[in-house]
Structure 1
């Protein structure tokens, strides 16, 4: 079996450094494909047709199918369908092996391509409770190369309401769609869907270490990869008695998970606000602040309380703040409560802070502060 460095060297020889870099980045998300390349014979077969897309996960999955005589046959051929059903039954019964082969991933990719021909089937797959998006990350990466309507699948994943599904869609957009074509995927989305998608897009999603995945027989999570890796490293450190390193890893994993939850709550609050659901917005703002407190989230919750007719509660949140937004909101709250002196003081402080920070001033701010 070839070592990782040997595979990477062969990729560079076949594709050139820049193209090999892109191919390697894609392959990090499909550990089954990388594992297949560790087989010298499989790598040699892949090198025989070296071109820009030669090491695309979908092309490698096709090669795995071809070596078993399953690529050239009709998609409706009973033998191919029997193999696909075999893998699907293993998933449904919970007997799927810990480490999948690239052949199994290729078969699941063919299943996705078959679902693409049926709107109802595709939507049912995406919206099924506990759909197991982590399990389908590699098959989707392999199927993307052959999808006839990738924009449609992208929209279904975004709209089904699952953070994991949305992140999977965004990851596919990043990996397999050129920057020039990405706007076409986003243009038909509603404002709420874009907010949700872009908030998730800010979640750190560094691919997990391939060696760790192979040793543990796990699939990568595009959604919480950094947290997973930090927790694994913490466990390994604890087993070695390196408790300081273990604590550091656990703290990092905890912080990443909290930030992920906060971003999702932010997106939910924005959608609730646009839909006029003040109760849901308030709860989402509160959860976001609890998960990962920042001045912006504190102001957002206070503004939500203020709009809901609870100025006293809003004031309790912004009272200790000294950033411009908090000071200005505090001034408006004092004004609502009839405390003109405190309102003027808070607004003037916010005005000065904005000037010092080169923050664009709303035209009403100086006039309001002076008028009080």
Structure 2
């Protein structure tokens, strides 16, 4: 971790901490990172090392310290309109990262807002400050009306242990399920996998026997040992994969889920997909009995992750996003 007393470098990103696994990726960019912690609405006021270790070349700052920093940041990485408003008096380029569909966010937060009005206000504000938006998927970019820049998150296969699948048990990694039941098709999940040997991991207050891993190393051991990984999601509200799915694929796990146009899984090759919970349950039972099949399918999932969802692709794409934000900021000042 970077020395808290060290001066801000010539290329330092100011990053609002949204989700540790996503922010952790920024460590590959080659910039110093000032990560804002102590934000309202977070489940922890500090960096959650149960999810990820501290990124390289980073330090933690509080919002008030970041706002009063004398040296300029290379770019400010934000995740919502609140973040953008928090830095309204800073002069640096702003990059908004879109992590959710607008419909999913409104549903999860229980907001009664006209979607078109919300999209219009966000675009107007970005135009006003010369900001740029990048989405983590085409679906999420389309949802908000920002389709010019899409940079999916990625994973590095070499970060994970060789897959073994020796535990005849499925795995799902998911946080705050109760507020996201519809988004995650949780009723479907329960019908398909209820009563089977499936381990649920994540921050889920109120769900008995469910907890987050102690650290990333423990999580990687789970990915190495469990037989298959589960991801279900409403195709109208959420992508056909999330960061945990990409991790599981990179670790060599086969994936089970519902049919989804955005799923990176090829049915019968790198996993199984079905909209019939009874059929998906049969596939789960098959993999629980057949470790060799799980290894074979997981190998294909790992290959797909390396080709389509690599950390190198994320790095190249996000570096371009930062430069686009800087260009738009310069043009705004000229005009």
Q: Tell me which interval the TM-score lies in, with the shorter structure as reference length.
A: under 0.3
* Higher relative contact order structure (alpha carbons within 8 Å, sequence separation ≥ 6): 2
TM-score, reference length from structure 1: 0.21
Q: Which has the higher strand share?
A: 2
Q: Which has the higher helix share?
A: 1
TM-score, reference length from structure 2: 0.22
